[in-house]
């Protein structure tokens, strides 16, 4: 069987209908609204995420893909995974967010195992016994499917914004078409950073552009008993 075009794979991964567990997450939106962020601020908040936390995730995926595609001689894939997981965790100080990312990572691992089990980058994940954040699993899929680094960055930014946009419709009354515009604006806000993040090669290169306010909101949200979304 011939391989699908990487663009088709990117569309599959960006599609909320892919059963990877994403529908139970709000990409930080429910925590933000419950903490008192005004719904009118969602567009600017989305653009802010696109230039900060999304680039941490994107850089993590890009570096994972690079390391699993071109392993330097003498180092094992497990050593690479360990280094990139540590780099990601250091840039994601909220335990609640790391835990949510691990859950999404497990969902993505099911997807990866089902669709790309024969590819070495995905097989490298099978030997890993600990939790993996979604960005790392995405990187392995990207390496397995031949996604371009720039598109891995764009996919990550889009997916984050669209996850929050879809969640917004469950949390606030509004015209469902309005957030679609905001998603595109968030993607545009990240565009000047795409090539820089796509050029990341080592764990040290991953942007450390977290958003502490989001981290704090996520921690508070994790303690609530009445939630629609996991994080």
Q: What separation, in Å, do the N-terminal and C-terminal C-alpha atoms of the chain show? A: 39
**Of the two residues 20 and 121, which places its CB atom closer to other proteins in the complex?**
20
Residue ranges of E strands in 104-157: none
In the complex, minimum distance from the CB of residue 129 to other proteins, in angstroms, rounded to a whole number: 13
**Of the two residues 132 and 198, which places its CB atom closer to other proteins in the complex?**
132
**Of the two residues 50 and 103, which places its CB atom closer to other proteins in the complex?**
103
- DSSP states along 94-117: -HHHHHHHHHHHHHHHHHHHHHST
For residue 178, what are the CA distances in angstroms to 19, 43, 120, 229? 25, 10, 42, 21
In the complex, minimum distance from the CB of residue 108 to other proteins, in angstroms, rounded to a whole number: 9
In the complex, minimum distance from the CB of residue 126 to other proteins, in angstroms, rounded to a whole number: 14
* Coil, helix or strand at residue 146: coil
155 Cβ neighbours under 8 A, 6+ residues apart: 10, 13, 14, 138, 147
Closest listed residue to residue 219, CA positions, set 21, 28, 9: 28
In the complex, minimum distance from the CB of residue 122 to other proteins, in angstroms, rounded to a whole number: 17
**Of the two residues 15 and 204, which places its CB atom closer to other proteins in the complex?**
15
CA–CA distance, 134 with 136 (Å, rounded to integer): 5
**Of the two residues 42 and 55, which places its CB atom closer to other proteins in the complex?**
42
Q: In the 8-state DSSP scheme, what is residue 172?
A: S
In the complex, minimum distance from the CB of residue 209 to other proteins, in angstroms, rounded to a whole number: 27
In the complex, the residues that contact other proteins under the rule CB under 8 A are: 17, 19-26, 103, 106-107, 110, 167, 170, 225-230
């Amino acid at each position: 069987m011939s391989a699908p075009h990487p663009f088709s794979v990117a569309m599959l991964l960006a599609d909320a209908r892919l059963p990877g567990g994403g529908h139970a997450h709000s990409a930080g939106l429910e925590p933000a609204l419950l903490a008192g962020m005004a719904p009118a601020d969602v567009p600017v908040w989305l653009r802010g995420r696109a230039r900060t936390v999304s680039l941490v995730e994107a850089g993590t995926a890009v570096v994972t893909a690079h390391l699993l595609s071109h392993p330097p001689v003498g180092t094992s894939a497990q050593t690479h995974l360990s280094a990139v997981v540590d780099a990601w965790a250091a840039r994601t100080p909220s335990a609640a967010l790391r835990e949510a990312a691990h859950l999404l990572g497990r969902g993505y691992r099911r997807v990866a195992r089902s669709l790309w089990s024969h590819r070495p980058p995905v097989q490298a994940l099978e030997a890993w016994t600990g939790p993996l954040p979604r960005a790392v699993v995405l990187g392995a899929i990207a390496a397995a499917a031949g996604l371009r680094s720039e598109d891995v960055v764009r996919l990550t930014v889009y997916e984050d914004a669209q996850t929050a946009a879809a969640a917004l419709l469950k949390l606030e009354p509004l015209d469902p078409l309005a957030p679609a515009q905001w998603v595109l604006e968030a993607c545009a806000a990240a565009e000047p950073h795409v090539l820089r993040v796509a050029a990341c090669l080592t764990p040290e290169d991953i942007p450390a552009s977290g958003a502490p306010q989001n981290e704090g909101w996520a921690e508070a949200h994790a303690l609530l008993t009445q939630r629609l979304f996991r994080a």
